Amino acid sequence: MYMMVNSLFIIKYGESHGLLFLIGYWIIISGAGVCYLRLSVQEKFYQWCFSSATAVFFIFSLYLNHKVDGYSLNVDRWSAMETGIEAVLDGKYPYDIPDHMGQESSNLPVLILLGMPVYLLFGSVGYLQSFIFLLFSYTVFVLFRTYRQRLGVLLLFVISPAYVWEIYVKSDLASNFIIVAGFSGLVWNRFLARPKIRPESVSVLTALLLLTRLSSVIPAGILLFRKFYLSSAGEKLRFVSVFLVTISVILYLFFSLSPDLHTLLKHNPFFIQGTKQPLWLSVSYIILAFLLSLRIRSLYDVFLFSGILLFICVFIPFILCLAEYGYRATVADSFFDISFFNMSMPFIVITLGMVFLINPDKEKS
């Protein structure tokens, strides 16, 4: 899955040299991967490399955001978020205002709120991706025990053409699911494995998470449904009550800005996000997530199942689009947005680290 997603980006954006770049990429990744798995040096060296790689890529992402003019891009995720932020700050309804490409924003309320601090400080939401990268680095630091493991996972991510593309076009998609991955690690370590935070706090965090992107319900369902299913009736009631109150308050704060009911019904992010796949297909993914949750036994299972299911929910419509329109229209002419594969990438990369970089005889995921 990791190689397929990155290969798609290389072929699409490599233009006439796409095949040559792809062959070179496969050779380099394969060779570097074998060397890294066989290489063994002092832990201090890995620690220095991990810290240096984090700092260098963070600075690189800041530079890239500064140099790239968002208005020259044919990607409007950054523009949709900025349009929404500016509307809310002006007390206007954010979902009926076109962005720089004439599209209405499909950003859910919490995603708009996440972009506000960076926009107010730097004047561009593109820099959000730089700081979310630091969150990924911290998540990797917490989830893995040695710097050899941490560095390997970090390198898999920063040398991914799919992720570098996200930084270049100022897209928040991968960043959104870095947050989801961090949430998964936090809830597993502090709530499911060793209860240190209250269920009500997890309920609030889950509600906030689901109000970033609807598809975040898949990893959240895999992570939490088993615990919810096994809890008492009273615990279920408290969790659901806090969840609904949190959702209601945030939606009211945003939707109350709508000038009338007609505008609210016709222009809202749930309608826009919900039309990207047939409803029955979306519901089937959620049901499958709940079923997979019943098989969860470790954090490894959480990341593995989340990465695979997020990949599948994009792969199926991708294949259907290929069958109907052909390769050129689907990929080259962008009938299908391959960037949606980036939802699964944080989970896939972390899972790869757990598979190849952790010795199962000595360490447990």
pTM of the model: 0.93
Cβ atoms of 276 and 320 closer than 8 Å: no
Tell me what the pLDDT averaged over the chain comes to: 92
Q: What is the pLDDT of residues 288-334, one digit of tens each?
A: 999 999 999 999 999 999 999 999 999 999 999 999 999 889 988 88
- Phi and psi at 98, nearest 5°, equal -70, 145
Nearest to 107 by CA among 345, 272, 346, 247: 272
Looking at the chain, the whole-number percentage of residues with pLDDT higher than 90 is 75
* 214-231 pLDDT per residue, tens: 999 999 999 999 999 999
Question: Residue 122 has which token pair?
Answer: 């730097």
Whole-number pLDDT of residue 357: 74
pLDDT at 274 (0 to 100): 61
Which amino acid, one-letter code, is at 151?
L
Q: What is the pLDDT of residue 363?
A: 40
Q: Which helix (H) or strand (E) holds 302?
A: helix 299-325
pLDDT at 359 over 70: no
Helix (H/G/I), strand (E/B), else coil: 307: helix
CB distance 153 to 73 below 8 Å: no
Per-residue pLDDT of 120-171, as tens digits, reads 999 999 999 999 999 999 999 999 999 999 999 999 999 999 999 999 999 9
124: phi then psi, degrees, rounded to nearest 5 = -155, 135
Q: Which residues contact 346 (CB under 8 A, 6 or more apart)?
A: 136, 157, 174, 177, 178, 180, 181
Q: Which H, E and C letters describe 227-270, residue by residue?
A: HHHHCCHHHHHHHHHHHHHHHHHHHHHHHCCCCCHHHHHHCCHH
Predicted pLDDT of residue 313? 94
What's the rounded Cα separation, in Å, for the pair 11 and 21? 8
Q: Output Rg (C-alpha) for the chain, integer angstroms.
A: 21
Examine the pLDDT at 269 and tell me if it is beyond 90.
no
Residue-level pLDDT at 364: 39
The encoded tokens of residue 218 equal 């898949």
Q: Report whether pLDDT(182) > 50.
A: yes
Stronger pLDDT, 17 or 151, i.e. the higher one: 151
pLDDT reading at 275 higher than 70: no
Q: What number is the average pLDDT over the span 66-94?
A: 92
pLDDT digits (tens, 9 = 90+) for 238-250: 999 999 999 999 9
Specify the higher pLDDT residue, 55 or 363.
55
CA-wise closest residue to 167 among 11, 80, 53, 63: 63
